[in-house]
Chains A and B, each alone.
Chain A
Amino acid sequence: MSSFSDDLDQFRSEVSAFIAEKCPQKLKDMPSSERSICWGGKRFTFSCDEQRIWMENAAAVGLTAPRWPTEYGGAGLNRAQEKVFREEMAKAKAPSPLESFGLWMLGPALLAFGTHEQKLKYLPDITNGRIRWCQGYSEPGAGSDLASVQTRAEDKGDHWVVNGSKIWTSYADKADWIFALVRTDKDAPKHKGISFMLIDMEAEGVSTKPIKLISGTSVFCETFFDNVVVPKTDEEGNSRIVGELNRGWDVAKHLLTHEREMIGGGGSGAASGVLGGRSLGAFIDTLDETIMDDPVVRSQTMELEIDTLAMSMTMERYKDMAKQGGVGHASAMLKYSGTELNKRRYELLMSITGSEGVEWDGEHGSLAPEWLRTKANSIEGGTSEVMLDILSKRVLELPSS
């Protein structure tokens, strides 16, 4: 499908030419915001036609999923090529052609645990932006203790009947399908009776309800399953379970490590939001010039600038370590430190903007909601305390008794 060169310099000029030609200028000029993200899916409304064109152009050569194999809709790039692609995108100010939980979570799970037929069925729909997935992990009674999920799937011969509820399912109200952890063996020890199941959100008995957060937004939902019939196999004979029956915890754990690296990355140097990639100092310079005369503000800013830069170096170092053979449980460090840092940065931003910062939609745009949203960073994807537990037990190998 794709015919990019293996030679890195050659590849750079090819991909740079591709971006120049295939990504409409309008998108390159558009400031990045929640609205500028292209999520895809049956129910997605493109913010403009150019957004759709860029998604389709990129998908046509697999560049919505650069590292995935070409037979599943990816571009089959190696890590070095992917890095070049991202660099050229940044240089051209081209936005990501497509973002989705399918790309971030389900795809990697299927690539690691799925059958060839499952990959052929589900992955191209993700890379083409046709199907939008959401993640059904947490439940009202299963937060940090995720393995205690109670949503159950009863075996009815040729199908399952699913009952229960999920919480914190991001964008569930806009998703076409959900990948969910469900209990398929209620008598097994809690980690052993869980399966990783694929469920059509249009199925009878699935409903969602948005949860309004302290930041005023409602990205998260509750998702309810009321006697939802899930066929054991689809028309082509593919199982609706990824990995082995009752071994869904292995898939979930694999994905959580993935998620941690992603969330940790959000706290590093290239923060989006009001900073838009600027240094804290540069942002502060746009404010009242006397702000930096306050020695406390100045000292906090210096400290955060140092910690932010050191954190982004660490992200780079860990990415390179991952290339060389993986970072394993140490990824919990990125998640812990990255999210705690991001919270500190936003506390400082709120402090220096003073009374202007507390307006919902004032001079500093979305600063207040962004600040409030950061408080979830150290909860979602495993709390800071769970990360410290992982580091203690798995990396430092401290005893459990």
Chain B
Amino acid sequence: MKLKHIVTTGLSAAVVLTSLYAAQVAAQDEQFFPLLVYRTGPYAPNGIPAANGAVDYFKLINERDGGINGVKITWEECEFQYNTKQGVECYERLKNKGPTGATIVFPWSTGVTYQLIPKAAVDEIPLHSMGYGQTAAADGRVFKWAFNFPTTYWSQASALIRYVGAQEEGMENLAGKKIALVHHNSAYGKEPIPTLQVLSEKFGYDLTILAVDHPGQEQKATWLQIRRLKPDWIFMWGWGVMNQVAVKEAAAINFPMDHFIGVWWSGSEADVIPAGDAAIGYKAANFHGVGAGFAVHDDIVEHVYGGDAEAARANNLGEVLYNRGMTGSMFAVEAVRTAQAKYGNKSLTGAEARWGMENLDLTEERLAEIGLEGFTRPLKVSCEDHETMGPVFIQQWDGAKWNQVSEWIEPMRDVVRPMIEEAAAAFAAENNVTPRDCSMEG
């Protein structure tokens, strides 16, 4: 009887103490981010560096700055193997975690983005599909909760055409040229097609569209068609193993690699290293710096890895997709900082973070302050424009590393923005969304 009493009292005390501790922890200001990652599965070689970059930047902010204005960043990874269904499950599992729920969700997949756009609007959680996802989400009047800055697939497609025009010494010289698009046969891979078709009519080039089924391990038939077609330029909207095989197949038919340009998801180290020397000269678009030569990388080595540069490199520091993951986290941190200026330095809700996203004004000076001078272009998000239509540049593989080989290229806003507004209006009509009046937004 006595023993039972002692055990009961002990357990009660433990429960009370645990509750008190939990309450104290919850009372501390923290900003929770769910991280949908794919460190396993067929796309793991792409998912690992992106996830490492995203996490390292959060760690840096906590370690170096003590959080965002004193508010610690917390996060939880959820493995979804780049599978849309699992990605949605991850979102559902994590959306209510943290003191104020999810701050911003990064879907890291166009398929997942499409699924989450209606859900996030109901849950009042902002989505940031950085340079991927549904392009029409650039129209913030219709897509209040979705953001895709700094640029989209449609903008990128127009920038690629502008680049090819420059290489051909004038846009007028595009007439009669043959351009082939080799794309992943998915929602993601099909995104640039409308833009390339519109521009084909405008500039008179012949566009051939060739789809490659998931995963893209065997593409011989596609490249036989290309060999027969003899295009002047090839664009690739690929992902995962499809990229590596395509680079090899292009080399196998003696296609000039400097006329083969990948989307920014087809331009990582993992896409070219397996092809060896065959990949030399291959190009890809990008919207952020390459390599680990920026001040922020030095800070990461110092504060996250305790000065162990080797350990940082082993965790992909400076690789293209590492930098991309880092860029996504940087945008999120700056958006929260923007929102804190209005709502105070506390744990923000998704709605408050959304305001921060929509009012984000990342200037050249601010980029320099956070160690990212020249890393990406300044941007200013607005109620109407959730994309900002940022410029892109072309990088080229030299057999050992990627090098920036072009200036920043502006997308064709006059062509792309009307298309975005048209697509957004169609979405609004289809889904009974009343576009916002941005003049009424605070």
A and B together in one complex? no
Instruction: List B residues at the A interface (Cβ < 8 Å).
Output: none
